[in-house]
A and B are shown apart, each in its own frame.
Chain A
């Protein structure tokens, strides 16, 4: 049983259509901000690493007939191995839909999804199951309270992905222990039930669970929003270590602040479309799109700035027209 994904040379593509120079969406002019992966790619074009995730022109619709509603519109995004990309979006922006489409839980109506170089857009149930079983992509759910089966011990929840792969229980438990260590939890938690754990502990268990199969890509849906600040800091630290260790991460969040320090790049989703993509520091400090500007201007900071109110008002007016 192999855990790694076989290198698929035929799908490695020399050019990256999605991460070019940053576009100023409002004016349509390219902005002269190069993001880290595109730099890497220009530096070593011949042996360009195949992206861990490549989404191109993704359209997703929900419902049918007159109730048909577009959830994603032409979303393109690429995540290099070891890169952490933050996807920022608020309720109804389509951020969860994006994750679910990448995982094959939602079928796109246009565009393509490549996971580890493999075009999974047209995969049927069987091929999806085979792909998932290899454990290349993992998902950490939004709600740490409900993403663990309340009737299973922590150990049983943790080892499930490996058991599904057909591995032995002893091997799986050993790996679970080492991962608990990695997420800074004591391994006496293994025998506990989820209800005995705090929210922060559960979320770290959920992260450990996603790492069981040694994935190349982990999507995390609001990994820290349900946590208090102390746990938040700790989980983000763990994620940073993960990224440094070479795992590609997609952090989906409504909160720019919690992602800005962890992500290399940030993509901003608004009403199902990516309005801005760029290096984290640039997006935060020089937001181009009015929505991003509003997002930055709305984040509560300790610098009391009541003058911002008028500016926010103006941006809201601009976005509503």
Chain B
């Protein structure tokens, strides 16, 4: 195991400092320190220590196959671990608040308003019998206390912000009338409705077509640039993470086997597993067939 020492992180701080909006030492909006997750029934640890920090406008990627613990880590951060799992060690701070101190009602307040998430199958997160606009408006009314008319107005704005072509039309449509990519946009709109500072995208583009996946990733990237949203992008696909992340964690069997700046992990992988992931991608991905000129043009 050769986890990169956190010492590689400071290398990147000057870059962050150079950004005009970021003061030299921005407090992290999400900080995960050596989080361990245990299975209550089996009394065994399934995630063996995950650490990363996230400042506004940054993106961290978590890569790993199914069962590597990446989703459990996300769920722990969101406070929605399945019942038989529990955090057994380490700490999670969201905007300076240690999550162990949170009561259920404070959690509810925090989720959506400060930290939010989108998942793989957008259709299952929407009520099929309610128009999508009304579902976003409901989130707005609950989370931000907007009046009915204002909420409606703001929902249409959000649908426009996620680059849906005819937001007013989409507002009045039912989930089954929308394509997978459009539904994921609606969910992103819902997730960012209350202006969270962290957005977790757990395999959010996995079920989508390539061009739609790129649209969603571009959208997330834009949101990050424009509103300083911090992103946690979880995927089994190294390349997806490579598109928009500054820092990458490679997980395997509950263990972070490699962690560091994206370009370094991708181009100089140290751990054999990361190398395997890179090699596999080069074997079936498009990279191998692209002439160097095309990629750089």
Contact between A and B in the complex (any CB pair below 8 Å): yes
**Interface footprint category on A:** 35 or more
Whether, in the assembled complex, A257 has its beta carbon less than 8 Å from a beta carbon of chain B, the answer is yes
Cα-based distance from A236 to B262 in the complex (angstroms): 28
Whether, in the assembled complex, A284 has its beta carbon less than 8 Å from a beta carbon of chain B, the answer is yes
Query: Do residues B285 and A299 form an inter-chain contact, with CB atoms below 8 A?
Result: yes
Query: Which of A257, A296, A309 touches B284 (beta carbons < 8 Å)?
Result: A257
Contacts of A305 in B (CB 8 A): 295
Interface residues of B in 133-170 (CB under 8 A from A): 165
Whether, in the assembled complex, A289 has its beta carbon less than 8 Å from a beta carbon of chain B, the answer is no
Whether, in the assembled complex, B290 has its beta carbon less than 8 Å from a beta carbon of chain A, the answer is yes
Query: Which of B211, B214, B291 touches A285 (beta carbons < 8 Å)?
Result: B291
Interface residues of B in 247-297 (CB under 8 A from A): 262-263, 266-267, 277-278, 280-291, 294-295
Query: Do residues B286 and A306 form an inter-chain contact, with CB atoms below 8 A?
Result: no
Cα-based distance from A69 to B96 in the complex (angstroms): 55
Query: Do residues A285 and B283 form an inter-chain contact, with CB atoms below 8 A?
Result: no
With both beta carbons as reference points, the residue of chain B lying nearest to A90 in the complex is identified as: B209
Query: Do residues A303 and B295 form an inter-chain contact, with CB atoms below 8 A?
Result: yes
Whether, in the assembled complex, A301 has its beta carbon less than 8 Å from a beta carbon of chain B, the answer is yes
Interface of A is mostly: helix
Contacts of B239 in A (CB 8 A): 300-302
Query: Which of A257, A260, A316 touches B215 (beta carbons < 8 Å)?
Result: A316
Query: Do residues A254 and B284 form an inter-chain contact, with CB atoms below 8 A?
Result: no
- Give how many A-B residue pairs fall within 8 Å (CB-CB): 114
Number of interface residues of B (CB under 8 A): 44
Whether, in the assembled complex, A312 has its beta carbon less than 8 Å from a beta carbon of chain B, the answer is yes
Whether, in the assembled complex, B213 has its beta carbon less than 8 Å from a beta carbon of chain A, the answer is yes
Cα-based distance from A320 to B209 in the complex (angstroms): 17
Whether, in the assembled complex, A125 has its beta carbon less than 8 Å from a beta carbon of chain B, the answer is no
Whether, in the assembled complex, B99 has its beta carbon less than 8 Å from a beta carbon of chain A, the answer is no
With both beta carbons as reference points, the residue of chain B lying nearest to A281 in the complex is identified as: B289
Contacts of B97 in A (CB 8 A): none
Whether, in the assembled complex, A228 has its beta carbon less than 8 Å from a beta carbon of chain B, the answer is yes
Cα-based distance from A286 to B179 in the complex (angstroms): 29
A-B pairs with the 8 shortest C-beta distances?
A298-B214, A300-B239, A90-B209, A257-B286, A229-B280, A299-B286, A298-B211, A284-B289
Q: List 12 A-B contacts (CB under 8 A).
A: A90-B209, A229-B280, A233-B284, A260-B288, A300-B243, A300-B285, A302-B281, A304-B263, A306-B221, A312-B214, A312-B215, A316-B215
Given A258-B284, A297-B214, A306-B221, 17 further pairs, Cβ under 8 A = A91-B179, A91-B180, A229-B280, A254-B210, A256-B210, A257-B289, A261-B288, A261-B289, A285-B289, A295-B210, A298-B210, A300-B213, A300-B242, A302-B285, A303-B287, A304-B266, A316-B215
